[in-house]
A = this chain, B = another copy of it.
Amino acid sequence: MTDRIAPRSGVAFTLPKDKILCVTDPEGGQVGDLLAFRAADPREAISNGRTFDYEETIRLTTGNRLWSNRSNALLEIVEDSCGVHDFLLTPCSEATFRHFYADKPVHRGCFGNLADALEPYGIAADAIPVAFNLFMNVPVGSDGKIRVLPPTTKAGDFIRLRALDDLIVGLTACSAYDSCGGSFKPIDYRIE
So how many copies of this chain end up in the complex? 2
| With A49-B89, A89-B53: A58-B146 Cβ-Cβ less than 8 Å | yes
A88 at the interface (CB under 8 A from B): yes
**Could you list 30 examples of A-B contacts with CB < 8 Å?**
A43-B126, A44-B126, A47-B90, A47-B130, A48-B48, A48-B130, A49-B88, A49-B90, A49-B130, A52-B89, A53-B89, A53-B90, A53-B96, A54-B99, A56-B145, A56-B146, A56-B147, A57-B144, A57-B145, A58-B146, A69-B90, A69-B126, A69-B128, A70-B95, A70-B126, A71-B93, A71-B95, A71-B96, A71-B99, A140-B144
Within 8 Å CB of A145, what residues of B? 56-57, 59
Q: In the complex, what residue of chain B is closest to A44 when comparing beta carbons?
A: B126
Q: Report the bound CA distance from A144 to B52 in whole Å.
A: 10
List 17 other contacts, CB 8 Å, given A49-B129, A50-B90.
A49-B89, A49-B130, A52-B89, A52-B146, A53-B89, A54-B99, A56-B145, A56-B147, A57-B145, A59-B143, A59-B145, A70-B126, A71-B93, A71-B95, A71-B96, A140-B140, A142-B142
0/1 per residue, A49-73, Cβ < 8 Å to B? 1101110111100000000011100
Q: Which A residues, 145 to 173, have Cβ-Cβ distances below 8 Å to chain B?
A: 145-147
| A57 interface neighbour in B59, B96, B129, B146, Cβ under 8 Å | B146
* A87–chain B nearest beta-carbon distance, Å: 9
Q: Report the bound CA distance from A47 to B127 in whole Å.
A: 12
6 smallest CB-CB distances across A and B, nearest first, come from: A59-B144, A71-B95, A49-B130, A49-B90, A43-B126, A58-B144
